[in-house]
Amino acid sequence: MANWIWYPGDFEIYHGMCQNFDREERGFFWPAYWHIADCRHHVVFHASCRLEKETAFRVTAKGIGHVLVKWEEKAPSWFPEGQPFYLEKKYTIGEWISCPAKEIGIDVVIGNRTGLPCIYVEGEVIRSGKNWTVTDFAAPEVPVGWNDMYVRAQQDPQIFEYTQELCRPVSTERVNGGVLYDFGRELTADTLIKINGEERPDQVTLCYGESRTEALDTQLCYLKQVLEIPGKKDSVPAGCASGPEREADCGASPFGRWESGQRYHTKLRAFRYIFVPEGENASLVTVEALYKYVDFPKRSSFSCSDGLINRIWEVADTTFRLASGIFFLDGVKRDRWIWSGDAYQSYFINQYLFFDKDICKRTILALRGNDPVTEHINTIVDYSMYWIISLENYYNMSGDLDFIRMVYPRMESLLRYCMEQTDGQGFIYGREGDWIYIDWAELDKEGILCAEQQLLARSYEAVASVRRLLGLDAEEFDVRKEALLKNIRQFFWDEEKGAFIDSYQSGRRNVTRHANIFAVLFGYADEAETESILHKVLLNEEVAAITTPYFKFYELEALAKLGRFEVVMDTLKSYWGGMLERGADTFWEEYKPEQPEEEQYGMYGDKYGKSLCHAWGASPIYLLGRYCMGVRPTGTAYETFAVEPQLELFDSFSCSFPVNEGTVWMDWKDGVLDVYTDKDGGVLKAAGKEYTLERGKHIVVKGR
């Protein structure tokens, strides 16, 4: 088997650019507002091999170029004696090339101005794969990029191959003079329009909605499309692609010459409802959806005696699957961009749901782009640091040192970019154009912000740890981390408030949950400080509540880490359960329990600005798996792992979670816990005792 190959990281950067160009709002496009890296457009692939017998190979390519084959021949008489004489021959892409039984070198020169230069080499002996190298003419030769998806000459790595499923509306309702189609669940889908008979509607208007309310709001719905349907004889509008394959970038109608009974696609959008206001036209067409998704495996399961928790798990699963495509996205209706802070949480959730390493790698590479760094990832200082930290986490989950080695130079250069904006205390500050985000919350952002410093310390730690993995000296970063932690405590710990304050420079001594949560999560508070944080901040209702599932994630993780599982369970039920009560069938970008229903879909000053299917809403999966069920690696890539279910939280449960390639199953019923795993290395902690888990054996523990 051969693989399509490309410059390492460029497959992800290429699709990352497509992804970040994919946002749409009321008929216009909105490419992300930061520098978006582009793939290399011109590279040379190289392989050497010693052939035992004559053999042939053929190169298929996306791009233009040629093939050079080189081998040593007997030198002609005029050639200087003692020097090797090489024959070099040029061939075209696509032709079968014969090679003699010699040591040969192959170069494939490929340029692709508008896309990803990549090749597929097939032959009995000579095949493209990870043993090939590549150069972009600027940096030294490196091993190629490849993945398991592109293994046939007929494929095109520039086109991501989604699993597809044709979906018909589960209900069709005449309302407000039009027709409302309900697909029964949120989809990320191409819309298929079929003209039923010989009568042609001049136009068909599609109002999309994540909610019924949005779809019926023909003026303000976020995604709306007016399809002009030309007569049979009309030709394709100039400059626009036509036909069944895809809607043109220019947003024009996908209709060329229409044919009765033929289906036309419009581009992928996220929706549950489609409303066609012109009822008479709606009756001339059939509206269907071609759901496109990545079929990630179901590596975990969870059900318990509490129906609400079970429903939360299911909805979190649905939410997370929809928001996980080529990359971990923030939300599916909006922005469809790749955000580092959002992705950082998705890596954790993934570990307890798909355990898919490839989407992590794709997201990490697309987010980072190429050196040199010209601005923070997504323009956000904290998001650069989450990216750095995520590499250590990815290694701990996967043990994938090859990937870490490939990406390490970009990890260090990004950290050094951050270090350029530190002051005399080693504190990182925002420069013009930098966004200091942390959360949609009323933080006191005057001057230097505590939470950013904690992320910087954690970044030093991550780089130091990765350097040690690669056999590199880490002292510089260890020293920096210690000095920074000392200064964080000195400048931001407020004895009187018993908490970390947002800013010492403003003089306001404002306390929010965020920095205090990080102090607990990263282990940057001592025992007394932690105790103080728990009571004076986390359990203190006078400190403003978190309003996003994004930071709820960290807050609940901190509480779980401190053993306050009852608060975790209560919050799952009230906060996530609250969204369900409001009719959510996927979890939202933001949820404010006190917000009136008529405002609940709004955000950013836009009546339907809120994303109703947002990846960071899926954290219950992680919180349940990692803390309530206590499944976690204790060695790299789960070489050793622990299982520590909090039995007191449930009357009964039945669950399974991935432990890398293996799985651990737990059943708790009638006071009996049954744990089974197909992987060695586990330890069960239950009922105050520890048990060694052995592959293929049940451990049964009675009582709590």
Q: Which is nearer to its own copies, 67 or 353 (CB)?
A: 67
- Work out which of 100, 115, 447, 602 binds its own copies, going by CB under 8 A: 115
Instruction: Please report whether residue 66 would count as binding its own copies according to CB under 8 A.
Output: yes
Q: Which of 267, 367, 358, 344 has its CA nearest to residue 16?
A: 367
Q: Which is nearer to its own copies, 252 or 419 (CB)?
A: 252
Site for its own copies in 250-269 (CB under 8 A): 250-251
Stretch that binds its own copies, among 35-43, 192-200, 349-357, 443-451 (CB under 8 A): 35-43
Q: Which is nearer to its own copies, 116 or 525 (CB)?
A: 116
Rounded alpha-carbon distances, angstroms, from residue 469 to 89, 473, 634: 43, 10, 16
- Work out which of 53, 76, 84, 137 binds its own copies, going by CB under 8 A: 137
Least distance from C-beta 302 to its own copies, angstroms? 41
> Which H or E element spans position 103?
strand 103-111
Tell me, what DSSP letter sits at residue 76?
P
Site for its own copies in 279-308 (CB under 8 A): none
- Work out which of 41, 368, 458, 481 binds its own copies, going by CB under 8 A: 41
Stretch that binds its own copies, among 23-31, 72-80, 196-204, 353-361 (CB under 8 A): 23-31
CA angle 564, 534, 516 (to 5 degrees): 120
Residue with tokens 């008979």: 197
- Work out which of 278, 358, 375, 478 binds its own copies, going by CB under 8 A: 375
Q: Which is nearer to its own copies, 137 or 219 (CB)?
A: 137
CA angle 512, 518, 521 (to 5 degrees): 135
CB neighbour list of residue 592: distance below 8 Å, 6 or more residues apart: 547
- Taking the C-alpha atoms of residue 198 and residue 633, their distance in angstroms, rounded to an integer, is 62
- Taking the C-alpha atoms of residue 380 and residue 439, their distance in angstroms, rounded to an integer, is 11
Instruction: Please report whether residue 219 would count as binding its own copies according to CB under 8 A.
Output: no
Q: How many residues in the chain?
A: 704
Tell me, what DSSP letter sits at residue 6?
B
Instruction: Please report whether residue 372 would count as binding its own copies according to CB under 8 A.
Output: yes
Q: How many residues in the shown chain lie near its own copies by CB under 8 A? A: 42
R_g (Cα) of the chain, nearest Å: 28
Report the b/e string of 613-624 with b at 16+ CB within 10 A: bbbbbbbbbbbb
Instruction: Please report whether residue 29 would count as binding its own copies according to CB under 8 A.
Output: yes
- Taking the C-alpha atoms of residue 182 and residue 171, their distance in angstroms, rounded to an integer, is 5
Stretch that binds its own copies, among 34-42, 259-267, 354-362, 555-563 (CB under 8 A): 34-42
Site for its own copies in 95-114 (CB under 8 A): 109-111, 113-114
CA-based max dimension of the chain: 93
Q: Which is nearer to its own copies, 108 or 353 (CB)?
A: 108
Stretch that binds its own copies, among 46-54, 164-172, 244-252, 308-316 (CB under 8 A): 244-252
Residue with tokens 């599916």: 332
Instruction: Please report whether residue 589 would count as binding its own copies according to CB under 8 A.
Output: no
Instruction: Please report whether residue 118 would count as binding its own copies according to CB under 8 A.
Output: no
Q: Which is nearer to its own copies, 246 or 497 (CB)?
A: 246
The CA-based dihedral angle spanning residues 354, 360, 366, 369, taken in that order and rounded to the nearest 10 degrees? 180
> Which H or E element spans position 28?
strand 28-29
Instruction: Please report whether residue 243 would count as binding its own copies according to CB under 8 A.
Output: no
Q: Which is nearer to its own copies, 11 or 588 (CB)?
A: 11
Q: Please, are residues 323 and 550 in contact by the beta-carbon 8 Å criterion?
A: no
Tell me, what DSSP letter sits at residue 637?
G
Q: Which is nearer to its own copies, 93 or 287 (CB)?
A: 93
3 state SS of 43: strand
Least distance from C-beta 572 to its own copies, angstroms? 35
- Taking the C-alpha atoms of residue 308 and residue 650, their distance in angstroms, rounded to an integer, is 12
- Taking the C-alpha atoms of residue 630 and residue 621, their distance in angstroms, rounded to an integer, is 12
Please give the structure tokens belonging to residue 249: 């970038």
Sign of CA dihedral 308, 314, 317, 321: negative
Least distance from C-beta 29 to its own copies, angstroms? 4
Strands (E), 477-531: 493-494, 499-500
Stretch that binds its own copies, among 46-54, 132-140, 571-579, 660-668 (CB under 8 A): 132-140
Least distance from C-beta 645 to its own copies, angstroms? 48
* Pairing mode of beta strands 103-111, 28-29: unpaired
Tell me, what DSSP letter sits at residue 598?
G
The CA-based dihedral angle spanning residues 375, 376, 378, 381, taken in that order and rounded to the nearest 10 degrees? -150
Q: Which is nearer to its own copies, 196 or 374 (CB)?
A: 374
Stretch that binds its own copies, among 89-97, 351-359, 509-517, 573-581 (CB under 8 A): 89-97
Stretch that binds its own copies, among 185-193, 304-312, 328-336, 372-380 (CB under 8 A): 372-380
- Burial class, 238, CB count within 10 angstroms (exposed 0-12 / middle 13-18 / buried 19+): exposed
Q: Which is nearer to its own copies, 17 or 179 (CB)?
A: 17
Stretch that binds its own copies, among 38-46, 296-304, 595-603, 660-668 (CB under 8 A): 38-46
Stretch that binds its own copies, among 87-95, 307-315, 465-473, 537-545 (CB under 8 A): 87-95
- Work out which of 65, 157, 630, 681 binds its own copies, going by CB under 8 A: 65
Q: How far is C-alpha 56 from the geometric centre of its chain's CA atoms?
A: 41
Q: Please, are residues 62 and 158 in contact by the beta-carbon 8 Å criterion?
A: yes
Instruction: Please report whether residue 34 would count as binding its own copies according to CB under 8 A.
Output: yes
Instruction: Please report whether residue 383 would count as binding its own copies according to CB under 8 A.
Output: no
- Other beta carbons less than 10 A from residue 423's beta carbon: 10
- Work out which of 28, 197, 528, 597 binds its own copies, going by CB under 8 A: 28
Rounded alpha-carbon distances, angstroms, from residue 398 to 46, 132, 335, 394, 401: 29, 24, 29, 6, 8
Stretch that binds its own copies, among 29-37, 333-341, 505-513, 569-577 (CB under 8 A): 29-37
Please give the structure tokens belonging to residue 274: 């489609």
Q: Which is nearer to its own copies, 90 or 535 (CB)?
A: 90
Instruction: Please report whether residue 374 would count as binding its own copies according to CB under 8 A.
Output: yes
Stretch that binds its own copies, among 133-141, 174-182, 309-317, 650-658 (CB under 8 A): 133-141
Least distance from C-beta 238 to its own copies, angstroms? 11
Least distance from C-beta 634 to its own copies, angstroms? 42
Least distance from C-beta 521 to its own copies, angstroms? 32
DSSP3 helix / strand / coil % (the chain, rounded to 5): 30, 25, 45
- Other beta carbons less than 10 A from residue 286's beta carbon: 16
Instruction: Please report whether residue 221 would count as binding its own copies according to CB under 8 A.
Output: no
- Work out which of 21, 293, 435, 440 binds its own copies, going by CB under 8 A: 21
Stretch that binds its own copies, among 90-98, 283-291, 312-320, 521-529 (CB under 8 A): 90-98
Binding footprint of its own copies on the chain (CB under 8 A): 17-18, 21, 25-31, 33-36, 38, 41-42, 44, 64-66, 90-93, 109-111, 113-115, 136-139, 249-251, 372, 374-375, 379
